[in-house]
């Protein structure tokens, strides 16, 4: 039996599969960060809208949104490449669910914001550890297998849950207020950006730190825009805030679908 030929054949099959699963996530451009922040804000305001305005309650809202998230992820995993509409739909859904998971722990089960922040922080670190131990990379430019994509979306879920807990802890638990919290997280993102471009901070580390920080930024921004003025907000309401941001996301996704500005040309060899 020719083991060399068999090995070459297996390599070709793997490479063929890799080529077929290109671009499961978008390139990290300015559009990526804009939509990400908008999606995190929608996650905060939409969860409040469904829970309070429509009076679904936390439990019912969580069940419905979790089902919708699973449907979105089902189609995302079936794709062989990055498709803006499906990918960002999944991000919006996971943003809402991540918010609801934290809200359930805090409001329904009485777990403190400090504890939930620690829990999701540990869960995220454990996810990164398992991901790196298995794949030897945490780069989003290497998401071209189903296993790596599963790690990716699990990490995304925990970043949203952690960001919700941390954002609420800073804004409400420490009485900093919404706009001050948003400003603080924006400054921290600026520091990470400076460290990446000027101090040559590792690209993968920079990405994930910034990604985590955009969640509490979006949560604080969403609360600032939607909450009543007497509570420190601008009083736009959850309906108005969600509608504005969803329309903006839709316009950007349509633009990216037509221009393909955020498509990666090929996977890395990681």
What is the per-residue pLDDT across 185-230, written as a single tens digit (0 to 9) for each? 899 999 999 999 999 999 999 999 999 898 888 877 877 887 787 7
pLDDT reported for residue 124 = 95
236 vs 225: CA distance, rounded Å: 6
- Is 270 a member of any domain? no
103 vs 168: CA distance, rounded Å: 10
What SS3 class is residue 228? coil
Q: Which of 226, 257, 218 is nearest to 39 (CA)?
A: 218
pLDDT reported for residue 125 = 95
Q: Are 31 and 267 in contact (CB under 8 A)?
A: no
Counting Cα atoms < 13 Å in the Cβ hemisphere of 56 gives 16
> Whole-prediction pTM value?
0.83
Q: Are 29 and 262 in contact (CB under 8 A)?
A: yes
- Is 186 a member of any domain? yes
CA dihedral 154, 102, 129, 39 (to 10 degrees): 50
- Is 202 a member of any domain? yes
For residue range 56-114, list pLDDT tens digits in order. Answer: 888 888 899 999 999 999 999 998 888 999 999 999 999 889 888 988 899 889 999 89
For residue range 234-264, list pLDDT tens digits in order. Answer: 888 878 888 888 999 999 999 999 998 888 6
- Is 1 a member of any domain? no
Q: Which of 47, 153, 49, 159 is nearest to 104 (CA)?
A: 47
29 vs 78: CA distance, rounded Å: 25
Provide the domain count of the chain: 1
Q: Which H helix or E strand runs over 33?
A: helix 30-48
In the predicted structure, residue 6 carries a pLDDT above the cut 80:
no
- Is 216 a member of any domain? yes
Please state, as a whole number, how many other Cβ atoms lie within 10 Å of the Cβ of residue 79: 14
- Is 266 a member of any domain? no
The vertex-149 CA angle with 144 and 151, nearest 5°, equals 135
206 vs 195: CA distance, rounded Å: 8
170 vs 209: CA distance, rounded Å: 17
- Is 246 a member of any domain? yes
Q: Which domain holds residue 219?
A: 28-259
- Please, is 200 exposed, middle or buried when counting C-beta atoms within 10 Å of its C-beta (0-12, 13-18, 19+)? exposed
- Is 205 a member of any domain? yes
97 vs 117: CA distance, rounded Å: 16
């Amino acid at each position: 039996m020719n083991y060399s030929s068999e090995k070459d054949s297996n390599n070709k099959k793997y490479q063929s599969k890799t080529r077929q699963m290109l671009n499961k996530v978008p390139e990290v451009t300015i559009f990526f960060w804009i939509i990400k922040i908008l999606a995190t804000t929608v996650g905060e305001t939409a969860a409040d809208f469904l829970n309070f305005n429509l009076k679904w309650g936390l439990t019912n809202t969580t069940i419905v949104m979790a089902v919708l998230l699973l449907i979105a992820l089902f189609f995302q995993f079936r794709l062989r490449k990055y498709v803006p509409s499906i990918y960002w739909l999944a991000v919006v859904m996971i943003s809402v669910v991540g918010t609801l998971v934290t809200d359930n722990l805090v409001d329904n089960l009485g777990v403190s914001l400090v504890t939930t922040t620690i829990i999701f922080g540990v869960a995220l670190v454990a996810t990164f550890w398992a991901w790196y131990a298995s794949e030897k990379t945490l780069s989003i430019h290497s998401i071209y297998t189903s296993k790596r994509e599963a790690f990716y979306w699990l990490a995304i879920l925990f970043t949203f849950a952690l960001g919700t807990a941390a954002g609420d802890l800073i804004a409400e638990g420490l009485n900093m207020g919404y706009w001050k919290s948003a400003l603080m997280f924006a400054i921290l993102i600026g520091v990470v950006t400076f460290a990446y471009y000027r101090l040559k901070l590792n690209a993968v580390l920079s990405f994930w730190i910034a990604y985590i920080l955009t969640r509490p930024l979006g949560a604080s921004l969403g609360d600032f825009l939607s909450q009543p003025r007497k509570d420190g907000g601008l009083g736009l309401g959850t309906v108005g805030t969600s509608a504005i941001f969803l329309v903006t996301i839709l316009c950007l996704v349509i633009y990216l679908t037509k221009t393909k500005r955020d498509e990666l040309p090929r996977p890395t060899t990681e």
